[in-house]
Amino acid sequence: MSNLTLPEAFKIVQGHEPATATALAATSDVISCKNLKKLWVIVNMTYVSDHDVVITWNESSDVAGTGDTAITETCPIWGNIDTATADLLARKTDAITFTMDTGAGKNQLWIMEWDPAKFSAGFDCFKLVITSAGTSIVAVNYIAEPRYQSDVVPTAITD
Protein backbone atom coordinates (compact mmCIF):
# COMPACT_ATOMS: atom_id res chain seq x y z
CA MET A 1 0.00 0.00 0.00
CA SER A 2 1.26 3.46 -0.91
CA ASN A 3 1.63 6.25 1.61
CA LEU A 4 1.20 8.82 -1.16
CA THR A 5 -1.39 11.44 -0.33
CA LEU A 6 -2.19 13.77 -3.21
CA PRO A 7 -2.70 17.01 -1.24
CA GLU A 8 0.43 16.40 0.84
CA ALA A 9 2.71 15.31 -2.00
CA PHE A 10 1.58 17.73 -4.74
CA LYS A 11 0.62 21.38 -5.01
CA ILE A 12 -2.96 21.75 -6.26
CA VAL A 13 -4.07 25.16 -7.54
CA GLN A 14 -7.31 26.21 -9.18
CA GLY A 15 -6.21 27.86 -12.42
CA HIS A 16 -9.69 29.10 -13.26
CA GLU A 17 -13.08 28.31 -11.81
CA PRO A 18 -15.66 26.75 -14.15
CA ALA A 19 -16.87 29.44 -16.55
CA THR A 20 -18.01 29.77 -20.13
CA ALA A 21 -15.20 29.53 -22.65
CA THR A 22 -16.04 33.08 -23.74
CA ALA A 23 -15.53 34.35 -20.19
CA LEU A 24 -12.24 32.44 -20.03
CA ALA A 25 -11.10 33.88 -23.35
CA ALA A 26 -8.41 35.74 -21.47
CA THR A 27 -6.25 33.58 -19.25
CA SER A 28 -6.14 31.34 -16.25
CA ASP A 29 -4.19 32.37 -13.16
CA VAL A 30 -0.43 32.77 -13.48
CA ILE A 31 1.55 30.46 -11.21
CA SER A 32 5.19 30.45 -10.22
CA CYS A 33 7.08 27.28 -11.09
CA LYS A 34 10.37 28.19 -9.40
CA ASN A 35 9.77 25.60 -6.64
CA LEU A 36 8.26 22.99 -8.96
CA LYS A 37 9.77 19.94 -10.62
CA LYS A 38 6.84 19.32 -12.96
CA LEU A 39 3.43 20.84 -13.69
CA TRP A 40 0.29 19.21 -15.04
CA VAL A 41 -2.56 21.35 -16.32
CA ILE A 42 -5.99 19.74 -16.29
CA VAL A 43 -8.69 21.24 -18.49
CA ASN A 44 -12.28 20.01 -18.18
CA MET A 45 -14.85 21.05 -20.76
CA THR A 46 -18.60 20.55 -20.44
CA TYR A 47 -20.14 20.79 -23.89
CA VAL A 48 -22.76 23.50 -24.40
CA SER A 49 -22.10 24.91 -27.87
CA ASP A 50 -20.21 23.95 -31.01
CA HIS A 51 -17.39 26.47 -30.73
CA ASP A 52 -13.92 24.95 -30.55
CA VAL A 53 -11.77 25.82 -27.54
CA VAL A 54 -8.12 26.58 -28.35
CA ILE A 55 -5.58 26.10 -25.56
CA THR A 56 -2.12 27.68 -25.57
CA TRP A 57 0.32 28.52 -22.78
CA ASN A 58 2.46 31.49 -21.92
CA GLU A 59 5.45 32.27 -19.72
CA SER A 60 6.22 35.38 -17.70
CA SER A 61 8.87 36.52 -15.26
CA ASP A 62 6.48 36.93 -12.31
CA VAL A 63 2.91 36.10 -11.25
CA ALA A 64 1.80 39.59 -12.31
CA GLY A 65 2.45 38.47 -15.91
CA THR A 66 5.47 40.67 -16.61
CA GLY A 67 6.94 39.93 -20.04
CA ASP A 68 4.05 37.60 -20.90
CA THR A 69 4.90 35.69 -24.08
CA ALA A 70 3.90 32.45 -25.79
CA ILE A 71 5.88 29.34 -24.86
CA THR A 72 7.53 27.79 -27.93
CA GLU A 73 8.68 24.52 -26.33
CA THR A 74 6.40 21.54 -26.96
CA CYS A 75 5.06 19.41 -24.16
CA PRO A 76 3.20 16.09 -23.76
CA ILE A 77 -0.58 16.19 -24.06
CA TRP A 78 -3.28 13.62 -23.30
CA GLY A 79 -6.97 13.90 -24.09
CA ASN A 80 -10.31 12.21 -23.67
CA ILE A 81 -12.79 13.59 -26.20
CA ASP A 82 -15.85 11.82 -24.73
CA THR A 83 -15.78 11.42 -20.95
CA ALA A 84 -19.30 9.96 -20.90
CA THR A 85 -18.27 6.77 -22.70
CA ALA A 86 -14.62 6.28 -21.67
CA ASP A 87 -12.21 7.13 -18.89
CA LEU A 88 -9.04 6.60 -20.91
CA LEU A 89 -6.68 9.41 -21.82
CA ALA A 90 -5.13 9.04 -25.26
CA ARG A 91 -1.59 10.31 -25.77
CA LYS A 92 -1.58 13.12 -28.33
CA THR A 93 1.31 14.59 -30.29
CA ASP A 94 3.59 16.87 -28.27
CA ALA A 95 2.67 20.44 -29.13
CA ILE A 96 2.61 24.10 -28.10
CA THR A 97 -1.18 24.28 -28.44
CA PHE A 98 -4.22 22.04 -28.78
CA THR A 99 -7.86 22.42 -29.78
CA MET A 100 -10.84 20.96 -28.00
CA ASP A 101 -13.02 20.15 -31.03
CA THR A 102 -16.64 20.54 -29.95
CA GLY A 103 -18.13 19.29 -33.23
CA ALA A 104 -19.03 15.92 -31.72
CA GLY A 105 -20.91 17.56 -28.82
CA LYS A 106 -19.07 15.68 -26.06
CA ASN A 107 -17.64 16.57 -22.66
CA GLN A 108 -13.84 16.42 -22.67
CA LEU A 109 -10.83 16.11 -20.36
CA TRP A 110 -7.33 17.22 -21.39
CA ILE A 111 -4.01 17.13 -19.55
CA MET A 112 -0.78 18.76 -20.59
CA GLU A 113 2.54 18.31 -18.82
CA TRP A 114 5.02 21.17 -18.46
CA ASP A 115 8.64 20.82 -17.40
CA PRO A 116 9.73 24.12 -15.77
CA ALA A 117 13.29 23.46 -17.02
CA LYS A 118 11.95 24.36 -20.50
CA PHE A 119 11.20 28.00 -19.63
CA SER A 120 13.10 30.61 -21.60
CA ALA A 121 15.89 32.40 -19.72
CA GLY A 122 14.46 34.81 -17.13
CA PHE A 123 11.03 33.18 -17.01
CA ASP A 124 9.59 30.93 -14.29
CA CYS A 125 5.83 31.59 -14.33
CA PHE A 126 3.14 29.79 -16.34
CA LYS A 127 -0.41 30.49 -17.44
CA LEU A 128 -2.92 28.82 -19.71
CA VAL A 129 -4.58 30.91 -22.43
CA ILE A 130 -8.03 29.89 -23.64
CA THR A 131 -9.55 31.21 -26.86
CA SER A 132 -13.16 30.53 -27.82
CA ALA A 133 -16.37 32.28 -28.74
CA GLY A 134 -18.44 29.48 -27.24
CA THR A 135 -20.54 28.94 -24.15
CA SER A 136 -19.20 25.52 -23.21
CA ILE A 137 -18.07 25.42 -19.58
CA VAL A 138 -14.32 25.12 -19.00
CA ALA A 139 -12.38 24.67 -15.75
CA VAL A 140 -8.60 24.69 -15.25
CA ASN A 141 -6.62 23.06 -12.44
CA TYR A 142 -2.88 22.87 -11.89
CA ILE A 143 -1.25 19.91 -10.14
CA ALA A 144 2.44 20.37 -9.48
CA GLU A 145 5.21 18.19 -8.17
CA PRO A 146 7.31 20.27 -5.77
CA ARG A 147 11.05 20.43 -6.29
CA TYR A 148 11.55 19.61 -2.60
CA GLN A 149 9.27 17.62 -0.32
CA SER A 150 8.17 19.29 2.92
CA ASP A 151 5.27 19.26 5.33
CA VAL A 152 3.96 22.44 3.73
CA VAL A 153 4.22 22.62 -0.06
CA PRO A 154 5.39 26.18 -1.00
CA THR A 155 2.88 28.52 -2.58
CA ALA A 156 2.71 28.81 -6.37
CA ILE A 157 0.52 31.91 -6.55
CA THR A 158 3.14 34.38 -5.32
CA ASP A 159 6.70 35.04 -6.43
Q: CA dist 22 to 48, 49, 86, 92, 136, Å?
A: 12, 11, 27, 25, 8
CA 114-115-116 angle, to 5 degrees, is 110
**Residues 73-101: tens digit of each pLDDT:** 999 999 999 999 999 999 999 999 999 99
| Domain residue limits, the chain | 9-146
For residue 48, give the DSSP letter.
Answer: -
Mean pLDDT, the chain cut into blocks of 10 residues (159 residues total): 80 89 73 94 93 92 94 96 94 94 92 97 94 87 86 67
CATH of domain 9-146: 2.60.120
Instruction: Give me the pLDDT at residue 23, please.
Output: 66
Cα 139 to chain centroid distance, Å, stands at 9
Q: In degrees to the nearest 10, what's the CA dihedral of 71, 74, 76, 77?
A: 70
Q: CA dist 48 to 24, 59, 107, 112, 142, Å?
A: 14, 30, 9, 23, 23
Find out whether 64 and 30 touch, Cβ atoms under 8 Å: yes
